[in-house]
C-alpha cells in the first residue's frame, strides 16, 4: 500500500461564503483530480482537516510512514503537491530528504505525526 | 490498542535558546510524565512534530481513530491534555463529541487526519 493524499474540501481559506463559486478546498481537490495520480498515490477528499486557520490543507499518510500536514495551499500548487506525494509514496517510512521535497512542503508544514512504532528519541 | 499521545520534546515555543533551562517541549513532556497516564493512553516523546510555529504541540493517534494535533500548549495544560487523550482512547474512531473535549482541544486544533478507511464525503 502506498500514500493517501487527503484534501480538505470544506476549506474556505478565508474567502467569504458565496454561492457563485466553489470553496477553495473543492477547487484544490478538482485541480488535483484533473492531473494524473502518481503511482502509489490515492487522492481522497475529506470534510474538514481542522486546519481552518492554515487552509487549504492536505495530509499525506500511509502504512508505516510518517504523516505530514501542509497548509496555505491553492489550485496552483496541485502539481507540486502530487510530486511531493509521489516522493512520500516512494519511501518506506515517509521521510523524504529535505532537499527533495517541493518548496511548498519545506515551507508550509503544519505538522507531522510518527508512524505507530518509532524508536524512542 | 488505545491512544498514543505524542509530545514534541524539541519544541522551543519561541523561547530563545538557553542552557540553563530545559526546552518548553521537554518541560511539557515532564509535566505529562509526572501525572498518572489514563487507561489506554501511552505517552511517547518525539523529536519534532514539525509544528514549530504553533508549539508546544502534541498529537493523539490510535488504530482506527482520527489523529488530532494540538498546539500552543504548556506545562499548565498537562492535566487537560491527559483528560482529552483519555476521551480519545475511550472512542472507537477518535471522534470525541465537541462539548466533551477540553477547551484547549476545542480552541487549539492544528489539524486532524482521518483513519486509513473513511467513507467518502
Closest-approach residue (CA) in chain B for A64: B116
How far, in Å, CA of A58 to CA of A42, rounded?
Answer: 13
Closest-approach residue (CA) in chain B for A119: B46
Three-state helix/strand/coil letters over A19-43: CCCCCHHHHHHHHHHCCCCCCCEEE
Give the CA dihedral B27, B29, B31, B37, nearest 10 degrees. Answer: 180
pLDDT for the residue B20: 77
Q: What average pLDDT score do residues B56-79 get?
A: 96
Name which of A4, A49, A54 is nearest B112 (Cβ-Cβ): A49
Closest-approach residue (CA) in chain A for B118: A46
Whether B4 contacts chain A with CB within 8 A: yes
pLDDT tens figures, B96-107:
999 999 999 999
Inform me whether the pLDDT recorded for B121 exceeds 60.
no
A116, B51: Cβ pair inside 8 Å? no
pLDDT for the residue A121: 47
pLDDT for the residue A67: 97
pLDDT for the residue B13: 83
Question: Could you say which DSSP state residue B54 is in?
Answer: G
Phi and psi at residue B89, in whole multiples of 5°? -65, -30
Interface ipTM: 0.90
Do residues B111 and A6 make contact, with C-beta atoms less than 8 angstroms apart? no
- Chain A residues lying within 8 Å of B26, measured CB to CB: none
B113, A9: Cβ pair inside 8 Å? no
- H helices, E strands: number in chain B: 3, 5
Q: Mean of the per-residue pLDDT values for chain B?
A: 92
- Model-level pTM greater than 0.95? no
- Chain A residues lying within 8 Å of B110, measured CB to CB: 50-51, 54, 69, 110-111
Inform me whether the pLDDT recorded for B118 exceeds 70.
no
- Using pLDDT thresholds of 50, 70 and 90, give the confidence band for residue A21: confident
Residue with cell 515532564: B30
Whether B79 contacts chain A with CB within 8 A: no
How far, in Å, CA of B53 to CA of A71, rounded?
Answer: 13
Whether B109 contacts chain A with CB within 8 A: yes
pLDDT for the residue B102: 97
CATH topology of domain A3-113: Glutaredoxin (3.40.30)
How far, in Å, CA of A42 to CA of B117, rounded?
Answer: 12
All 3 cell numbers of residue B105?
A: 482541544
Taking the CB of residue A63, how many other CB atoms lie within 10 A of it? Answer: 13
pLDDT tens figures, A25-43:
999 999 999 999 999 999 9
Side by side, the strands of the sheet bearing B67-70 are: B41-46, B3-8, B58-61, B67-70, B109-113
Amino acid at each position: 500500500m502506498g500514500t493517501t493524499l487527503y484534501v480538505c474540501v470544506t476549506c474556505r481559506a478565508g474567502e467569504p461564503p458565496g454561492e457563485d463559486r466553489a470553496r477553495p478546498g473543492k477547487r484544490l481537490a478538482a485541480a488535483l483530480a484533473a492531473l494524473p495520480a502518481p503511482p502509489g498515490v490515492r487522492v481522497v477528499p475529506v470534510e474538514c482537516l481542522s486546519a481552518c486557520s492554515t487552509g487549504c490543507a492536505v495530509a499525506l499518510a500511509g502504512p508505516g510512514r510518517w504523516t505530514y500536514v501542509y497548509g496555505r495551499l491553492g489550485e496552483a500548487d496541485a502539481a507540486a503537491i502530487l510530486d511531493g506525494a509521489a516522493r512520500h509514496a516512494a519511501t518506506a517510512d515517509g521521510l523524504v530528504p529535505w532537499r527533495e521535497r517541493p518548496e511548498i512542503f519545506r515551507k508550509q508544514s503544519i505538522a507531522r505525526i510518527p508512524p505507530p512504532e518509532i524508536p524512542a528519541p
